[in-house]
């Protein structure tokens, strides 16, 4: 589907000055929610707009739900529907779509959230009013439950106060990447993200702070669904807990590698290395403990990893060597949750 000529709009800038922008709508195992996300993208009031809807090799009927949601669409936006042959994960998936997209601004959209119809228009207006300077714009969100009811406003960290790498080092911001918009400059300068990161939000915000800056638009332009893929997990067994722990460790190592690489590009590599040394030592210790093949090897790691806090060393040693000791604690937590209900 190809965009038709722009029609008159309430947008402040003349139509000839409005940039082409792209929505990167990613989905994975979200067959029940994806139609709402697609309809939110198609309903955008802004033109010219390109919408890329991409399924990351879902194991359910997500792709069929996407095709059904766009069937018969004859609006002004250019719509591309695609799916990956194999699951790539969030960072690689978004990097792939960013390279496909043609827009000057790239709007991230998650398959279980809903963009309000004015999202693109308001963000573009904000960006142009700041002379196209910010490389990342974050909006507020509206908390939405599984039934679609709207609750309180979600306001992530104010990004305008992050004016330098020192600000980022001092306090890492709390973010929700599903309400982020990136400039194409950001992607071109730093390139694709490494595959295997759990999320892109911290990575892209740091990139923006090291480039043209990040800014917050205090309007709730995304309905953020509770209980999505980023929800807090509850574990039925110690094995499940450990599997999740190891996955988080892999995510952490990839994110650290990405932050370091981006810092090198921006000329602050040594400062990043020094700042991240404690966290890197911790993640490397966890990885080595679970990869160790014998009790003696794990005991050696426990004894010699002085740069890692003792409490963490002991916990990881027990998880890797004798995970059954944590089973009673999980059972007790489940029992308490049942009693609260």
- pLDDT for residue 325: 73
Angle subtended by helix axes 310-321 and 295-304, to nearest 10: 170
Q: Is 72 left (phi over 0), alpha (psi -120 to 50) or beta?
A: left
Separation of alpha carbons 247 and 266, rounded Å = 29
Q: Which two tokens stand for residue 121?
A: 């228009």
- The per-residue pLDDT for 196 is 92
- The rounded Cα 126 to chain-centroid distance in angstroms is 22
Peptide bond into 48 cis (omega under 30): yes
Distance CA 90, CA 230 (A): 11
Divide the 341 residues of the chain into consecutive groups of 10 and give the mean pLDDT of each group: 36 70 97 96 98 97 97 96 96 96 97 97 97 97 88 95 96 95 96 93 97 96 77 67 91 97 98 97 97 95 95 92 70 60 56
- Structure confidence at residue 330 (pLDDT): 55
CATH homologous superfamily, domain 15-225: Spore Coat Polysaccharide Biosynthesis Protein SpsA; Chain A (3.90.550.10)
Looking at residue 337, its pLDDT comes to: 58
Is-contact 25 37, C-beta < 8 A?
yes
253 to each of 189, 268, 284, how far by Cα in Å? 22, 19, 8
Rounded Cα distance, 24 and 4, in Å:
20
Exposed/middle/buried for residue 16 (C-beta within 10 Å: 0-12, 13-18, 19+): exposed
Q: How far is CA 175 from CA 40, 140, 165, 231, in A?
A: 22, 10, 17, 14
Q: Are 154 and 235 in contact (CB under 8 A)?
A: no
Name the pTM for this structure.
Answer: 0.87
The tokens for 45 are: 């009031």
- DSSP string spanning 62-78? HHHHHHHHHTT--SSSE
Which pLDDT does position 339 carry in this prediction? 65
> What are the φ and ψ backbone dihedral angles of 174, each rounded to 5 degrees?
-90, 130
User: Which token pair is 13?
Assistant: 């800038």
Q: Where in the chain is the domain with CATH 3.90.550.10?
A: 15-225
């Amino acid at each position: 589907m190809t965009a038709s000529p722009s029609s008159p709009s309430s947008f402040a800038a003349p139509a000839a000055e409005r940039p082409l922008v792209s929505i990167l709508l990613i989905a994975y195992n979200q067959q029940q929610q994806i139609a709402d996300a697609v309809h939110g993208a198609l309903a955008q009031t802004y033109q010219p707009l390109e919408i890329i809807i991409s399924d990351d090799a879902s194991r359910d009927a997500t792709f069929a739900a996407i095709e059904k949601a766009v069937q018969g669409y004859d609006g002004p936006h250019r719509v591309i529907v695609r799916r990956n042959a194999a699951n790539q994960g969030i960072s690689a998936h978004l990097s792939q779509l960013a390279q496909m997209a043609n827009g000057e601004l790239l709007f991230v959209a998650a398959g279980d959230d809903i963009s309000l119809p004015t999202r693109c228009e308001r963000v573009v207006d904000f960006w142009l009013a700041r002379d196209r300077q910010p490389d990342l714009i974050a909006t507020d969100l509206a908390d939405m439950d599984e039934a679609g009811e709207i609750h309180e406003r979600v306001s992530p960290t104010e990004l305008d106060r992050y004016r330098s790498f020192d600000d980022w080092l001092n306090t890492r911001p709390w973010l929700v990447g599903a309400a982020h918009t990136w400039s194409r400059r950001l992607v071109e300068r730093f390139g694709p993200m490494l595959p295997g990161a759990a999320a892109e939000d911290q990575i892209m915000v740091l990139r923006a702070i090291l480039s043209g800056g990040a800014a917050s638009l205090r309007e709730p332009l995304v309905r953020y669904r509770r209980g999505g893929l980023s929800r807090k997990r509850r574990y039925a067994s110690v094995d499940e807990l450990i599997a999740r722990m190891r996955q988080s460790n892999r995510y952490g190592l990839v994110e650290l590698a990405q932050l370091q690489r981006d810092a090198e590009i921006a000329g602050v590599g040594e400062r990043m290395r020094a700042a991240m040394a404690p966290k890197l030592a911790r993640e490397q210790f966890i990885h080595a403990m679970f990869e160790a093949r014998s009790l003696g090897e794990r005991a050696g790691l426990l004894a010699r990893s002085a740069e890692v806090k003792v409490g963490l060393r002991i916990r990881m040693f027990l998880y890797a060597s004798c995970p059954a000791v944590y089973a009673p604690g999980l059972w007790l937590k489940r029992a308490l949750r049942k009693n609260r209900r």
